Structure formats: structure tokens, C-alpha cells
Structure 1
Amino acid sequence: MQKKILVTGATGFLGRFLVEHFCSSPDTIVVAPLRNIDVKLPDNVTVTHIPDINNNTDWRKSLSGVHVVVHAAARVHVMDEEPLQSIEKFRKINVQGTLRLAREAAEAGVKRFIYISSIKVNGESTSINDAFTAYDTPHPSDAYGISKCEAEQQLMQLAQTGAIEVVVIRPVLIYGPGVGANFHQMLQWLIKGIPLPFGSVNNSRSLVFVKNVVDLVSTCIDHPRAANEVFLVSDDEDVSTTQLMRRLLNSLGTKTRLIPVPVKMLTLLADLVGRGTVAQRLLGSLKVDIQKNRRLLGWRPPYTLNDGLQVTAAHFLESRKK
């Protein structure tokens, strides 16, 4: 019997890999609701039109015959917004829009709703010796994290009614071929070969290769013990920023001197130029513990951190030739 999976956010970074993975199985039908139906996706994807994601979205056509929803669409960080205005915009899509989809999915007979959340629900940082777990009390601090946390809580309330099974997955920073934002910026710094002041950053951070996230999502599609649970996901190997840059340099085949500048000085300089948030991600620690995944699901990341970095670096180098 074929399984029909609806993937939201199908044109996003993670969404593209989810669609590619599910499309590779002859037993799976993929539905992708999009605002712009002219976007190119694999030929065997059923594309439906969704003008917007909010509390009034009509998902009925997209949900027809669907067995599982993988909800990866979200409003992400937007610069230069007023905090009050920002949180309401995040809630409109990430909370109200998510709950509308989940309720209509339940009414349509969908069995399971997999919600791609964020480690920001746990918080922004850990100490170097501690790690977030799926059992921790949430401590989101920005509008995005708060909206993701509120959506999780309301989804679990819906699950408690028995209307639908919910699985929440909170990734750490996702990287892979075609990654953008700060990770792509780091690759651009490193490829230039100029000295960088990150030679003595002794923090500890968890990362996750995009195909490891996809594999966990795939496991949670029908694993009986995944129902109504929360899972964190990483490559299960933590590195300092200095170690990460050295591994990327090796994968890029580039030599760059990493100068040992004290972290306190880097933090001060970043604050002075208004880049404190970026500095926190580069210099602070954020670790997660994924033992729950192994215990409940028997899941381990199929790709190592080195595997993921090598594939990411190779794609980056290839894209520079075009």
C-alpha cells in the first residue's frame, strides 16, 4: 500500500531534502502545498496551492488521502522588528497556522503529525559540560523560539484528545549542501585563506547534517514508539568552533591561520559592532543529548559529523565554479 505524505516548507533547505528522500521510494506519494505553484519540484510530487499559512488556511484539498504530515514550514528570524510586533507575526504562522493544519489533518483522518521545531525551545546555550535533553523544561528567549514552544504545547494538547499522533523534532543548527546563513558565511571566510581570530575558542556545540534530520523524520513516520514524543537531533558529536573550522579547512583543502585571540576580547568586539548574537553562536556552547532517540527508536545518526562536513564543503567548492 502506498503511503501519502504531505511536506510543508518543501522549497526550504530541509524541505528540499525531505521531498527528495520521500520521492525516492516507489511506495510513497509526496504532496507539497506551495504559495508559488510554478516552483520546480520532482515530477512525481503532487503540488497544491496554499496562498498563506495562518488560522484561516484551507488545507482540505492538500490533505486528501494523506497519512502523515511533516510540517517544516515556519516563519524564521527576521531582523529589525519591534519585539511586540515580531511575536505576533511569529504566532500567526508558527502557532495559529500550525494548529489550523493539525486540526484539519485530524479531521481528514491523518494518523501522524511530525512537527519540525527548534532547539531554541530548550534555550540559547548550555554550559560546556551540560547538554539539553528532550525532558528539559523549555526556556525559549526570542520570538521564534517562543512561537515554536507554544505550537509544541498546543499540538501535544491536541494529541492528548486522541485525534492525531504528534511527533516533535527539535534540530540544532542544520548544515549540508547548499546551506545558507551563518554556516555559509563561515565557509566564505575560510575559503579566502585570510587569518581568522578563532584559534582558541574552547566551546562545545552540537550540529546536525541535514540527511541525519531526514533519516530521523523518516524513522518517525511510522515508528510506534515515536507517537506523542519529543526528540532532539544532532550528529552525536560535539566540537568547538576552532575544531569545526579546522575540519572544514581540511575538507575545503584550504590553509588559513586561526589566530588564538581570547574569547573575552572577541565577545567585546562583537558587542561593540552589534554582532553579539552571532558571537554567541560562534563562541558559546550549545550541546544536546540524543540518548532518548537510541533508547526509544533504536536510532543513531547514519552520517558522522566528518561525513556531513565533507559533503557540504564539496558542494560549496563545486558551486563556486558555476
Structure 2
Amino acid sequence: MPQSVFLTGATGFVGGAILRRLVDDKKSPIVVALRLSSQSLPLDVTTAHFETFDASTPWEGCFTGVGTVIHSAARVHVMNDTEVDPLSAFRKVNVEGTLNLARKAAAAGVRRFIFISSIKVNGEGTSTGSVYRADDVPAPVDPYGISKLEAEQGLHVVAAETGMEVVIIRPVLVYGPGVKANFFTMMRWLDKGVPLPFGAIHNRRSLVALDNLVDLVVTCIDHPSAANETFLVSDNEDLSTTQLLKKMAEALGKPARLLAIPSWILQTGAIFFGRKSLSQRLCGSLQVDIGKTQSLLGWIPPISVDDALKVTAQYFQEHQTK
């Protein structure tokens, strides 16, 4: 009987998609970690319940027959965080909780630990003509990125001490059916035909479709060259904000009403209204080089940006509330 895959974060955007893919593939038994307050998943999986995810979570007995842990649960980056000490809150879950899970998994004989990290470990943006690479010196800026880097560093220590293989994946912005936050907001505006002042933005940003990220995660379960490596992941098709909005509008079957406002005006206005971070995401660049991912794993993103946007737009239109 094949060894099981143990998955955290299965009720989240990325984790839920990983779970659906694992179920569809039917290659391995699946164990899903769920909070005690979570509803049971309507799938043929084994559940391991926990109350809080931190350094004290008792995982003993949860890894019988498990060969791989896929850890996608996290305290995620949020706008306008209300925590008095955000870094401490991120560390409790993303660092202490992750390393506790990894140590317990290693002690139980788990072969491989796949950690869904973040491109924020590399930094917040790239300058014209430059890209992030997997082996660059990390330069996180915000508490979320710092916590993800510290988790990565701790996992390398666990791997060295125990022999458990660690695979780190740093996604860029993930989009797909059910996406929320700014991506969802942009789709809603485009769907309503709202004129947007983003018709003259010439930045370059890497994105990754949910299906492409999931495909890489599943590839890393068994690929021998993935052991103890860090991978960046994207669709390998970088777009400006203006290009992305035009493609989104096309996927929605709506005209893109984009006003050609110079980006420096948008950035100045965003700073004036205290939205500098938002202007960075809309006007700044963030590009990644996935050459290492492709060469070591022989991996090619299986879905194009256009096809991924069509699926995302279809889901949005079928599930949006009027």
C-alpha cells in the first residue's frame, strides 16, 4: 500500500485545491489536518484534528503510514493587521507551529516535508530588468515574509538533524477559482464596467494560476531532484497591470474601460491617501525566474494565463452575489 500524504490547510484557497487534486489522482491515501471546530470534509480522507496550531500542538500518532507532509496552512498576510505585535502573531503560527509539525513528522519517520512559503521571502518587488531567483539572498520586509523566512531556516535545521527531506516552494500571487482580495475586487469592477485608472501601467509582474501551483506541489511529492531544494513558481508569462486587466476583461466577456493615467500620478495619490503598499502591487514590478524549477524538475506550467483566467472568470460569474 502506498504511503499517505498528510495535508494541512485543506480548507483554504491553496490547500483546498491541493486536496482536490490529490483526491482526483487517487495515487495515495490522504490524511487531512482539521481544526476541531471545522466541519468534516465530504471526501474519502482520514482526518487528524487539532485545536490550535502552534508549538504545543500534539501531533503524536497522526503520521502512521505517512510518507509526505504538505504544509499549506499559515497565518496569512492581511491588510491593516490589528495585532499589537504582528511579527509575534505570525511567528506563533508560521514559525513555531511549522517547526513543531516538522519535528513531530521527522520523529515519526516521514520522508519528505513540502512547505508552501512565499515570494515575500525574496522581497517586495524587483527593479526594471531584474528578477528574483530561488537562490538569491532573502530580503523580506514585512512580518509575514520574515516569519516565512524564519520557518524556512528552521526547516533546514530539522532536515540536517533528522534526514527528513524538505522542499520549499515560494509562490508569487496566486489566482484561480475562488480568489479573493484585490484580484477579486478588480474582477468585480471590470464585470460592472467601472472605468479604472490603470490603462498606462508598464510594470511587469509574475503570477501563478492555482492549477499550476498545485501541479508543482504534486510533482514535488515524489520527484527525487526536489529533495532539500527551494523553488520559485509562476505561470512563466509576466504581465503589466494594464495587460492583466485587459485579459481579465476578455475572460469576463466585458470591455476593459481603462483610463490612461500615468503611474506616477497614481503612486503619488496612493501615498497621499496612505495606500503606498497597494500602489506598489498595482504599479510596481515583481518578476521571478523559474529556470531552476524547470531544469531540476523538468516542470512546465500546464495551464496558460488565458485559460486560467477563463476558468477564474467563469467561477466568479457563477458564484458572485448580485
TM-score range, shorter chain: over 0.9
1:81 CA drift (Å): 4.4
Asked whether the 8 Å contact 1:13–1:179 carries over to 2, the reply is yes
Deviations 1:110-144 (A, max 9, x none): 00000000000000000131110001000000000
- Give the equivalent residue in structure 2 for 1:316: 316
- Give the equivalent residue in structure 2 for 1:149: 149
Output aligned runs, 1:60-209, within 5 Å. Answer: 60-81=60-81, 85-209=85-209
Q: Which amino acid aligns with 1:238?
A: D
Distance 2:2 2:179 in 1: 32
Asked whether the 8 Å contact 2:252–2:313 carries over to 1, the reply is yes
Q: Which amino acid aligns with 1:317?
A: Q
- Give the equivalent residue in structure 2 for 1:48: 48
Distance 1:25 1:194, change over 3 A: closer
Give ranges in structure 2 of 5+ residues lacking alignment: none
- Give the equivalent residue in structure 1 for 2:277: 277
Distance 1:230 1:181 in 2: 27
**Greater Cα offset, 102-111 or 304-313:** 304-313
**Greater Cα offset, 188-197 or 200-209:** 188-197
- Give the equivalent residue in structure 2 for 1:253: 253
**Greater Cα offset, 27-36 or 281-290:** 27-36
TM-score of the pair, normalised by structure 2: 0.96
Q: How many percent of aligned residue pairs carry the same amino acid?
A: 52
Deviations 1:236-267 (A, max 9, x none): 00000000000011110111321100111101
Q: Secondary structure at the match of 2:25?
A: coil
1:321 CA drift (Å): 6.8
Deviations 1:191-211 (A, max 9, x none): 111211001000000000011
- Give the equivalent residue in structure 1 for 2:288: 288
Asked whether the 8 Å contact 2:201–2:241 carries over to 1, the reply is yes
Distance 1:139 1:69 in 2: 27
Output aligned runs, 1:16-31, within 5 Å. Answer: 16-31=16-31
- Give the equivalent residue in structure 1 for 2:239: 239
Distance 1:83 1:128, change over 3 A: farther
Distance 1:38 1:156 in 2: 31
1:163 CA drift (Å): 2.7
Q: Secondary structure at the match of 2:61?
A: helix
Q: Which amino acid aligns with 2:237?
A: E
Distance 1:227 1:246 in 2: 39
1:29 CA drift (Å): 1.1
- Give the equivalent residue in structure 2 for 1:215: 215
C-alpha RMSD over aligned residues: 1.5
Give ranges in structure 1 of 5+ residues lacking alignment: none
**Greater Cα offset, 27-36 or 138-147:** 27-36
Distance 1:249 1:78, change over 3 A: closer
Distance 1:79 1:313 in 2: 24
Q: Secondary structure at the match of 2:152?
A: helix
1:38 CA drift (Å): 4.5
1:77 CA drift (Å): 2.2
1:35 CA drift (Å): 0.9
**Greater Cα offset, 277-286 or 84-93:** 84-93
Q: Secondary structure at the match of 2:85?
A: helix
1:62 CA drift (Å): 2.4
1:82 CA drift (Å): 7.0
Distance 1:193 1:82, change over 3 A: closer
Aligned pairs, number: 322
Say yes or no: does 1:225 pair with 2:222.
no
TM-score of the pair, normalised by structure 1: 0.96
- Give the equivalent residue in structure 2 for 1:306: 306
**Greater Cα offset, 120-129 or 61-70:** 61-70
Q: Which amino acid aligns with 2:52?
A: D
Q: Which amino acid aligns with 1:158?
A: V
Q: Which amino acid aligns with 1:248?
A: M
Asked whether the 8 Å contact 2:235–2:305 carries over to 1, the reply is yes
Distance 1:185 1:80 in 2: 17
Distance 1:91 1:41 in 2: 28
Distance 1:27 1:78, change over 3 A: closer
Asked whether the 8 Å contact 2:245–2:256 carries over to 1, the reply is no
Asked whether the 8 Å contact 1:37–1:48 carries over to 2, the reply is no
Distance 1:78 1:176, change over 3 A: closer
Q: Secondary structure at the match of 2:231?
A: strand
Distance 1:194 1:105 in 2: 50
Distance 1:10 1:278 in 2: 28
Distance 1:264 1:243 in 2: 18
Distance 1:238 1:27 in 2: 33
Q: Secondary structure at the match of 1:174?
A: strand
Distance 1:147 1:158 in 2: 16
Distance 1:243 1:215, change over 3 A: same
